[in-house]
Amino acid sequence: MKQHPGTNPPTFRTTVSGITDGGLHLSESYCYPRGGGQPGDVGVISSSDHSAEFSEVQGGDFILHPVDDPSIFNVGDGVECEIDVIRRNRNTRMHTAQHVFSAMANELFGAETVGNQISEGYTRIDLWFPDRDQFNAGDMAVAVNDALRTDSNVSIHEWDRDRILSHEQMRHTKFMDRIPSSIEMLRVVEIDGIDLCPCGGTHVANTSDVDDITITNSRSKGAGKLRITYE
Ligand SMILES: [Zn+2]
């Protein structure tokens, strides 16, 4: 099930497939592992006998659900995994807002997003500008909030690399070099009329789910770059 909902992910049942010093591997997991600027999920894993909170889920060859004492579980245990929905929903909204922010910065100022990190309650985004003196936080916030208020649908596609790289509206494809070529189909996120880019993060179904943003800070991050913080 690739299109697990970005918000309100339901509790799922699975089995413990591996145990390391740091935590548990599950035979299937719908937890979001930290990556792409988006924090990983946290939550609770329960077997019939035991229950443990897991801290921020980590990616890698196998998704790791870190728990304090993994030895209370056994490989093969049937478990229930409950994702912290409030945290996930917040991160999902913040992450979708970041797509809109990056798209509008590109449209208004020709800026390229070179990094981003979502934290509790705020996001910082690093942008490279052809001419960063052109940047204007007021215009930027208005453009983002106007775009969010268009009630645009967000859809997820599975497209191959050729289709992604040949699409004229596609943004943010440079990082695709870092994804192993054995992975042929990539997830593409489309925010109707606003943004189209490959992305593995979690997203709301419609921009009406995202509140307005407020830009709180911008400062130099080296030649041509600004680090912008918004809530
Ligand atoms: Zn995304």
Instruction: Give the DSSP letter of residue 145.
Output: H
Based on the fold, state whether residues 105 and 210 are members of the same structural domain.
Answer: yes
Based on the fold, state whether residues 54 and 148 are members of the same structural domain.
Answer: no
Residue type, 106: N
Based on the fold, state whether residues 34 and 103 are members of the same structural domain.
Answer: no
Closest CA to 191 of 230, 144, 227: 144
3-state secondary structure of 142: helix
155 pLDDT more than 90: yes
Based on the fold, state whether residues 72 and 148 are members of the same structural domain.
Answer: no
Q: How far is the CA of 170 from the centre of ligand 1 (A)?
A: 13
Model confidence band, residue 95 (pLDDT cutoffs 50, 70, 90): very high
Based on the fold, state whether residues 117 and 202 are members of the same structural domain.
Answer: yes
How would you classify the pairing of strands 65-66 and 122-128?
unpaired
Q: Which of 32, 50, 83 is the last residue of a domain?
A: 83
Instruction: Quickly tell me which residue has 């929905």 as its tokens.
Output: 85
Q: How far is the CA of 92 from the centre of ligand 1 (A)?
A: 9
Based on the fold, state whether residues 97 and 183 are members of the same structural domain.
Answer: yes
Domain membership of residue 5 (yes or no) is no
Q: How far is the CA of 68 from the centre of ligand 1 (A)?
A: 30
H or E stretch covering 166: helix 161-166
Q: Which of 25, 51, 83 is the last residue of a domain?
A: 83
Q: Which of 83, 110, 134 is the last residue of a domain?
A: 83
CA distances from 132 to 51, 136, 147, 200, 222 (A): 51, 9, 22, 29, 11
Based on the fold, state whether residues 39 and 107 are members of the same structural domain.
Answer: no
Q: How far is the CA of 11 from the centre of ligand 1 (A)?
A: 22
Domain membership of residue 95 (yes or no) is yes
Instruction: Provide mean pLDDT across the span 123-138.
Output: 96
Q: How far is the CA of 74 from the centre of ligand 1 (A)?
A: 35
How would you classify the pairing of strands 23-26 and 195-198?
unpaired
Q: How far is the CA of 200 from the centre of ligand 1 (A)?
A: 6
Q: How far is the CA of 148 from the centre of ligand 1 (A)?
A: 15
Instruction: Give the DSSP letter of residue 71.
Output: G
pLDDT tens track for 173-187: 888 888 888 888 999
Based on the fold, state whether residues 212 and 195 are members of the same structural domain.
Answer: yes
Contact 195, 100 (CB under 8 A): yes
**What is the number of structural domains in the chain?**
2
What CATH number does residue 215 fall under? 3.30.980.10
**Which residues have CB under 8 Å from 105's CB, separation 6+?**
111, 113, 125, 127, 140
Supply the pLDDT for residue 3: 55
Domain membership of residue 48 (yes or no) is yes
Residue type, 35: G
Distance CA 204, CA 192 (A): 13
Domain membership of residue 61 (yes or no) is yes
Contact 133, 94 (CB under 8 A): no
Contact 227, 219 (CB under 8 A): yes
Domain membership of residue 7 (yes or no) is no
pLDDT tens track for 69-79: 999 999 999 99
Q: How far is the CA of 109 from the centre of ligand 1 (A)?
A: 21
Q: How far is the CA of 18 from the centre of ligand 1 (A)?
A: 29
Q: For residue 61, what are the domain limits?
A: 12-83
Q: How far is the CA of 129 from the centre of ligand 1 (A)?
A: 21
Supply the pLDDT for residue 61: 87
Q: What is the pTM of this model?
A: 0.94
62 pLDDT more than 60: yes
Q: How far is the CA of 95 from the centre of ligand 1 (A)?
A: 6
Domain membership of residue 1 (yes or no) is no
**Which residues have CB under 8 Å from 103's CB, separation 6+?**
147, 171, 191, 194, 195
What CATH number does residue 70 fall under? 2.40.30.130
Based on the fold, state whether residues 117 and 166 are members of the same structural domain.
Answer: yes
Domain membership of residue 4 (yes or no) is no
Domain membership of residue 127 (yes or no) is yes
pLDDT tens track for 3-58: 578 999 999 999 999 999 999 999 999 999 999 899 999 999 999 999 999 999 99
Supply the pLDDT for residue 180: 85
How would you classify the pairing of strands 185-191 and 154-160?
antiparallel
Q: How far is the CA of 197 from the centre of ligand 1 (A)?
A: 8
Instruction: Provide mean pLDDT across the span 118-122.
Output: 92
1 pLDDT more than 50: no
**Which residues have CB under 8 Å from 138's CB, separation 6+?**
none
Based on the fold, state whether residues 94 and 192 are members of the same structural domain.
Answer: yes
